[in-house]
């Protein structure tokens, strides 16, 4: 079983910054593609950014140039640095660990951390 624990959410003013962390346990961290997703009220969960064990990275268009995803394989932790935050970034942010095998896909989720961007 894989455990994911997010931290770092909170209330921030527009233009501010936050850094989210996701610590993992119970698995070989480098076997997983790590991602950050978010879900705003009344909306579907959407991909924000993801990173492979070899640092291949994808971002949602809405966060390109403002958010940076990174991972520390020695600490089994993935980060999301969020700069120039906008009210529309307000959502619950979830950490995801994904692994694909020839038999099935594995997906694990954290409990989520609230990010609120408001003046």
pLDDT band of residue 41 (cuts 50, 70, 90) is very high
pLDDT of residue 18: 98
pLDDT band of residue 17 (cuts 50, 70, 90) is very high
Query: Which pair of tokens denotes residue 97?
Result: 């660990």
Exposed e or buried b per residue across 44-77, where buried means at least 16 C-beta atoms within 10 angstroms of its C-beta:
eeeebbbbeeeeeeebeeebeeebbbebeeeebb
User: For residue range 62-77, what is the model confidence (pLDDT) as tens digits?
Assistant: 999 999 999 998 999 9
Pairing of strands 33-39, 91-100: antiparallel
pLDDT of residue 40: 96
């Amino acid at each position: 079983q894989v455990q994911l624990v997010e931290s770092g959410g909170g209330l921030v003013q527009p233009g501010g910054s936050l850094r989210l962390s996701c610590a993992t346990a119970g698995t070989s961290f480098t076997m997983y593609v790590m991602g950050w997703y978010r879900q705003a009220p009344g909306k579907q969960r959407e991909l924000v950014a993801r990173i492979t064990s070899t640092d291949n990275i994808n971002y949602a268009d809405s966060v390109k140039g403002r958010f940076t995803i990174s991972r520390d394989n020695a600490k089994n932790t993935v980060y999301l640095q969020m700069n120039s935050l906008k009210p529309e970034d307000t959502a619950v942010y979830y950490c995801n660990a994904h692994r694909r095998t020839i038999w099935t896909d594995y997906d694990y989720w954290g409990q989520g951390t609230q990010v609120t961007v408001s003046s």
